[in-house]
Amino acid sequence: MSKKLVRIIFHPLNKVVEVERGTLLLDAIREAGIQIESICGGKGQCGKCRVILNKGEVSIASEDVYKKHFSPQEISQNYHLACQVYVLSDSEFTIPVESRIDKPKILVSTEMRIEELDPASRKYLVKVSRSPDFLLPSIKLENYSGLRPKIDNETYRKILSLSEPITVTVSTTSGYPEVIKVEPGDKVGTNYGLAIDIGTTTVVMLLVDLTNGKIIDKDSTLNRQIT
């Protein structure tokens, strides 16, 4: 027999979610796609996930936790901690602005450039020499300087199967240069990378043109570790 579903409305966001009766309110809030402060991971220690019960029936996990985080006046005003409340009926809650986490704005312009660019992967055109003096064709990377990159047998065969121009991507992420990708045509001018900054509250991602350091696009999201 399936459990009874209850309907929860969150104000002032006007978000609605249906969950099983007895669901932890913090889980219901997350299911509704709402980001809320909960730096203790829902253990009732930080007191950040404050909500107000406008309507409905709930059960409380710990009265002692409430006495620690709420004044008698706040308790009389139906303040609750989302991590300590189980929803028992159709309910309505207000999530105060101090409890909500809004998506951050990225203060980085796409007009900016990364001046000191030293990407871990670069693209080069390949020159294949098929000389009768050599048992196997030789491969040379145009404008490449440094240690001779490793090329596995499968990659080598793929290079030989293509007609020039041929582009390869050389990566140094393993500590030694290695050909990791082969593309037909001249793709030297199309080389992109993703720069990721993982902060305590936000994760910022920048799409960077690795040929000139220009930021092509950007996006951000909340670091889910804070909830």
Q: Tokens 């220690």 map to which residue?
A: 45
- Reading the block at residue 173, the tokens are 């992420």
- Structure confidence by residue, pLDDT tens digits, 15-38: 999 999 999 999 999 999 898 888
Domain-wise residue ranges, the chain:
5-94, 103-116+191-227, 121-184
- Reading the block at residue 23, the tokens are 């669901």
Closest residue by Cα to residue 124 from 186, 79, 174: 186
- Structure confidence by residue, pLDDT tens digits, 48-102: 999 999 999 999 988 888 889 999 999 999 999 999 999 999 999 999 998 888 7
Q: Tokens 């979610």 map to which residue?
A: 17
> Quick one: pLDDT band at residue 200, thresholds 50, 70, 90?
confident
- Reading the block at residue 123, the tokens are 């693209």
φ/ψ (deg, to 5) at 87: -85, 125
CATH 3.10.20.30 for domain 5-94: yes
What's the Rg (C-alpha) of the chain?
28
